[in-house]
């Protein structure tokens, strides 16, 4: 089996007496399509924040591509190939869609320290950003300001920015939240079209999407891993039905 | 190479004809108002100062109430160079003053930029107050409350004397403004400038795409410090005097009002706001020496209420509206 791209060992975080991550271990190998599910407040987003470095862990180790990144600053992890999207759109609202994606592309190419050359003269950056926008069917909106787009289309900008970083490991925090079901296929197609080699971890509430996307599912409850397995295994696990799926009337009950 | 189907889609850096207007105005001002060239030079200096504030406030989103610290550092550096050391060649004095202000900006910024919001605002204010007190105490060097006397400038390029009418001062300030403007314009339109806009729009996202946010902000702060220092030095050199008020809270406040009146994040906001503010101040003070501030206050309130993006923002909105009506 190939070496893991992302390995999380016994990762813990508590705020006082509140334990939000309790010895969580996860392994993503190249090509992984891994879903992280769990009821609201299970600590899924906290786990993403711990892995990306916005929250300092209380204990445990994070390895990215073999490097111990547990104490790396956030920016360095990104340069090391770790990218994320946000559950709530975190975009450059006053800039155009194209500029949003160019931002990621030129940061990845380490151009942002360049003081003198005009950004709009960098045809290579712009062409790459346009190609990314085409891949999420946003090319027609390239010149519009992000804040003018409907929320669901903004979700695609969220994804395009992360893709512009050429990640080895991509963490998607509820990418389809707020996307009308008629448009979620664009998002899924974009995710399905990602290079085989990268590892993707997706937090998602929509079980349709989870079962279509994931090869492995981890169930998180109260900061700890309840179980991990293939979609069939997890779907059949009575404990999972009880704590998570039981909240919905049926397995494909959609969100909440 | 194959031409892409879209045309210059960012459209940020291309020179537009309208950009010639402020320069034409400033150039013709020299001939139209020969009696006001001293005031004119001071306006140009404040344009430069407001532009340097725009670099951090308008582009990087750093709200500072202590920008006078850097202006004053430049002014005192240029003044002390001439009055105490006898270094009275203007251009080299200007460069030295800009560099000194840049170093002060780098050191202060290194501390200040660890903070955000109110803490940052208070720290910028504190630095200015400290520097002003320092200038007040060090009377031997600064002249304290009486101001720094004995600043004398050699003729520019050894040829052009600084005359009583302010002809040399005006053209000197205009030329320096133009050169610094060209540099600032290139910087805000570069990938670095885009990155600053990103920090202003969403700092969290900039971290998440791997941007060294602190380093970028410190760079911007230092660049703005050099610009502010050059502006301060220009004032010291063209008036051949430095008063404590170059480091005052009022100056920090004035420059922010000028920028807000003109519009932030556009570089040209300074070109509208500074003249508007200073000409109004000049005229209102003649009209009513006691109540001129009332007029400025009323204008500011009207701007915030009806043109929150300043005069340039208002102009852009009008233009968009006219276009919609046309089509």
Mark whether A22 and A44 lie in a shared domain.
yes
Q: How far is B100 from chain A (nearest CA, A)?
A: 21
Quick check: B308 contacting A, CB < 8 Å? no
Mark whether A171 and A251 lie in a shared domain.
yes
The dihedral through the CA atoms of A103, A107, A110, A112 has a sign that is: positive
Mark whether A193 and A145 lie in a shared domain.
no
What distance in Å separates the CA atoms of residue B222 and residue B192, rounded to the nearest whole number?
Answer: 14
Cβ <8 Å between A95 and B186 = no
Nearest by CB: B192 against A74, A94, A115: A115
Cβ <8 Å between B194 and A78 = no
Mark whether A225 and A147 lie in a shared domain.
no
Chosen domain end from A165, A193, A221: A165
Q: What is the pLDDT of residue B11?
A: 53
Mark whether A67 and A174 lie in a shared domain.
yes
**Residue A109 resides in a domain:** yes
Quick check: B193 contacting A, CB < 8 Å? yes
Mark whether A146 and A208 lie in a shared domain.
no
Nearest by CB: A107 against B193, B201, B211: B211
- Residue A246: pLDDT band (50, 70, 90) is low
* Domain containing residue A241: CATH number: 3.40.50.300
Chosen domain end from A140, A165, A190: A165
Q: Which residue has the higher pLDDT, B137 or A205?
A: B137
CB–CB of B117/B58 below 8 Å? no
pLDDT for B124 beyond 60: yes
Show residues of chain B in contact with A115, CB under 8 Å. 186-187, 190, 192
Mark whether A206 and A240 lie in a shared domain.
yes
Nearest by CB: B209 against A104, A115, A121: A104
pLDDT for A245 beyond 60: no
Coil/strand/helix, residue A160:
helix
Show residues of chain B in contact with A103, CB under 8 Å. 194-195, 198, 206, 209
Q: How far is A161 from chain B (nearest CA, A)?
A: 8
Cβ <8 Å between B13 and A95 = no
Mark whether A173 and A51 lie in a shared domain.
yes
Quick check: B3 contacting A, CB < 8 Å? no
Q: Report the domain count for chain A.
A: 2
Nearest by CB: B13 against A54, A120, A143: A120
Q: Which of A51, A55, A75 to mutate to probe the B interface, most B CBs <10 Å?
A: A75
Residue A224 phi/psi, 5-degree rounding, is: -120, 155
Which domain range does residue A156 map to? 94-165
Q: What pTM was computed for the model?
A: 0.91
pLDDT for A234 beyond 80: yes
Which residues neighbour B293 within 8 Å (Cβ) at sequence distance 6 or greater?
Answer: none
Strands (E), chain B: none
Q: Which of B191, B223, B266 to mutate to probe the A interface, most A CBs <10 Å?
A: B191
Which residues neighbour A53 within 8 Å (Cβ) at sequence distance 6 or greater?
Answer: A69, A72, A73, A74, A77
ipTM of the complex: 0.90
**Residue A139 resides in a domain:** yes
The dihedral through the CA atoms of B194, B199, B204, B206 has a sign that is: positive
Q: How far is A123 from chain B (nearest CA, A)?
A: 8
Q: Which of residues 211-230 of B touch A (CB under 8 A)?
A: 211-213, 216, 219
Strand-pairing partners, residue B47, are none
Q: Give the residue from chain B lying closest to A131, CA to CA.
A: B4
Mark whether A241 and A186 lie in a shared domain.
yes
Show residues of chain A in contact with B197, CB under 8 Å. 92, 94-95, 99
Quick check: B319 contacting A, CB < 8 Å? no
**Residue A88 resides in a domain:** no
Residue A228 phi/psi, 5-degree rounding, is: -145, 140
Q: How far is B284 from chain A (nearest CA, A)?
A: 37
pLDDT for B63 beyond 80: yes
pLDDT (tens digit per residue) in B274-322: 999 999 988 888 888 888 888 888 888 999 898 888 999 898 889 888 8
* Count of C-beta atoms within a 10 Å radius of residue A66: 10
What distance in Å separates the CA atoms of residue B61 and residue A93, rounded to the nearest whole number?
Answer: 14
Q: What is the pLDDT of residue B1?
A: 37
Mark whether A249 and A138 lie in a shared domain.
no
Which residues neighbour A82 within 8 Å (Cβ) at sequence distance 6 or greater?
Answer: A6, A51, A52, A64, A69, A167, A168, A169, A171
**Residue A86 resides in a domain:** no
Q: Which residue has the higher pLDDT, A107 or B159?
A: A107
Q: Give the residue from chain A lying closest to B1, CA to CA.
A: A123
Show residues of chain A in contact with B207, CB under 8 Å. 54, 74-75
**What DSSP line would sit under B268-312, residue for residue?**
SHHHHHHHHHHHHHHHHHHH-TTTHHHHHHHHHHHHHHH-TTHHH
Show residues of chain B in contact with A96, CB under 8 Å. 9-10
Chosen domain end from A165, A189, A213: A165
pLDDT (tens digit per residue) in B64-86: 999 999 999 999 999 999 989 98
Quick check: B306 contacting A, CB < 8 Å? no
Cβ <8 Å between B210 and A117 = no
What distance in Å separates the CA atoms of residue B84 and residue B75, rounded to the nearest whole number?
Answer: 14
pLDDT (tens digit per residue) in A104-157: 999 999 898 888 888 888 889 999 999 999 988 899 999 999 999 998 899 999
Mark whether A75 and A199 lie in a shared domain.
yes
pLDDT for B179 beyond 80: yes
CB–CB of B229/B97 below 8 Å? yes
Mark whether A219 and A124 lie in a shared domain.
no
């Amino acid at each position: 089996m190939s070496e893991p791209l992302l390995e999380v060992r016994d990762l813990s975080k508590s705020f006082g007496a509140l334990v939000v991550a309790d010895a969580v271990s996860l392994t993503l190998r190249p090509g992984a399509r891994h879903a992280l599910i769990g009821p609201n407040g299970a600590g899924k987003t906290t786990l993403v924040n711990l892995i990306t470095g916005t929250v300092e862990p209380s204990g445990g180790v994070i390895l990215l591509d073999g490097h111990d990144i547990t104490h790396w600053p956030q920016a360095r992890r990104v340069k090391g190939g770790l990218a994320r999207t946000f559950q709530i759109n975190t975009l450059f609202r006053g800039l155009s869609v194209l500029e949003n994606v160019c931002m990621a592309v030129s940061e990845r190419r380490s151009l942002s320290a360049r003081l003198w050359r005009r950004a709009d003269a960098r045809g290579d950056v712009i062409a790459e950003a346009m190609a990314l926008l085409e891949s999420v069917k946003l090319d027609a909106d390239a010149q519009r300001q992000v804040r003018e787009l409907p929320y669901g289309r903004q979700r695609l900008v969220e994804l395009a920015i992360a893709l512009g970083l050429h990640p080895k490991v991509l963490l998607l925090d509820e990418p389809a939240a707020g996307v009308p079901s008629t448009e979620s296929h664009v998002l899924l197609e974009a995710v399905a079209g990602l290079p085989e080699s990268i590892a993707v971890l997706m937090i998602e509430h929509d079980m349709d999407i989870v079962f279509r996307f994931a090869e492995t599912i981890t169930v998180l409850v109260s900061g700890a891993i309840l179980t991990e397995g293939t979609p069939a295994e997890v779907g059949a696990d009575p404990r999972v039905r009880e704590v998570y799926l039981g909240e919905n009337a049926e397995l494909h009950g959609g969100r909440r | 190479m194959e031409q892409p189907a879209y045309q210059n889609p960012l459209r940020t850096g291309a020179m537009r004809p309208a950009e010639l207007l402020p320069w034409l105005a400033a150039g013709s001002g020299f001939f139209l108002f020969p009696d006001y060239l001293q005031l004119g030079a001071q306006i140009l200096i404040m344009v430069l100062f407001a532009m340097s504030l725009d670099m951090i406030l308008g582009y990087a989103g750093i709200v500072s109430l202590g920008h006078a610290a850097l202006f004053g550092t430049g002014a005192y550096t240029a003044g002390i160079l001439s009055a105490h050391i006898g270094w009275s060649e203007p251009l080299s004095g200007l460069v030295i003053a800009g560099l000194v202000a840049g170093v002060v900006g780098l050191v202060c910024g290194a501390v200040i930029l660890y903070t955000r919001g109110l803490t940052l605002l208070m720290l910028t204010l504190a630095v200015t107050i400290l520097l002003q007190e320092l200038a007040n105490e060090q009377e031997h060097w600064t002249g304290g409350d009486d101001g720094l006397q004995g600043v004398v400038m050699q003729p520019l390029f050894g040829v052009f004397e600084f005359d009583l009418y302010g002809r040399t001062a005006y053209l000197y300030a205009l030329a320096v403004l133009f050169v610094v403007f060209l540099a600032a314009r290139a910087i805000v339109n570069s990938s670095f400038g885009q990155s600053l806009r990103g920090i202003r729009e969403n700092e969290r996202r900039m971290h998440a795409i791997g941007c060294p946010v602190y380093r970028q902000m410190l760079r911007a702060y230092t660049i703005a410090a050099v610009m502010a220092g050059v502006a301060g030095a220009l004032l010291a050199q063209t008036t051949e005097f430095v008063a404590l008020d170059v480091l005052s809270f009022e100056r920090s406040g004035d420059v922010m009002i000028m920028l807000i009146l003109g519009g932030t994040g556009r570089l040209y906001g300074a070109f509208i706001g500074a003249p508007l503010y200073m000409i109004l101040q000049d005229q209102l003070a003649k009209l009513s020496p006691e109540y001129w501030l009332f007029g400025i206050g009323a204008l500011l309130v009207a701007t915030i209420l009806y043109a929150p993006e300043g005069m340039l923002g208002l102009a852009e909105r009008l233009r968009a509206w006219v276009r919609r009506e046309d089509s």
